[in-house]
Amino acid sequence: MINFNYEAEFKLDSEQAISDWVVSAVLNEKHKLEEINYVFCDDAYLHKLNVEYLNHDTLTDIISFDYSVGKTIAGDIFISVERVKDNANEFNVSFEEELKRVIIHGVLHYCGYKDKTVDEARLMRDKENYYLSRFKKN
C-alpha cells in the first residue's frame, strides 16, 4: 500500500499513476510491498526531522525511515517540495522529473541500493533513470 500525505501547499497530480509505478518498481526489484508513506513537506519541516532524528543541521530533499524486514518493503519517505523545486532548477530538469527521481530514490534505498561511494551512486542513478523511463511508458 502506498499512502500520500501533505504537510505543504502541494498535491500530486497523479497519485494512482505514481503508486502503480512504485509498486511495479518494488516488484521488479524482487521485493514485496507492505506499506510506504510519502509525506510531502517544506524545507522547515524536513530540516526539523533532519536535526531531531539524524543530527544533521542541513537542508535535504528526502529523508527516509526504513522499516523493511528482509524483502518486505515498509517505510516513511519525507520529501521537501521546496528542495525538489530548487534541485530541478539547478539540474535543469522539470519539477515533475526531479520529484519522480526523489520518489523512486527512497524506494531504491529500501531495496538495498546505496549511494555513499562513486560506484554506488552511479548504480543508484542508473536505476533511477531506468525507472524514470518506465514511468513515461505508463
Nearest by Cα to 101 from 63, 67, 69, 127: 127
> What gap in Å lies between CA 16 and CA 36, rounded to an integer?
14
Q: In degrees rounded to 5, what are phi and psi of residue 71?
A: -95, 10
**Annotated binding-site positions:** 105, 109, 115
User: Measured in whole angstroms, how far is the alpha carbon of residue 110 from the centre of its chain?
Assistant: 10
How many Å from the N-terminal Cα to the C-terminal Cα in the chain? 19
**What is the helix (H) or strand (E) element at residue 85, kind and residue range?**
helix 81-91
Q: Which residues make up each annotated binding site for Zn(2+)?
A: 105, 109, 115
Q: Are 129 and 100 in contact (CB under 8 A)?
A: no
Q: Which three cell numbers stand for residue 78?
A: 519525507
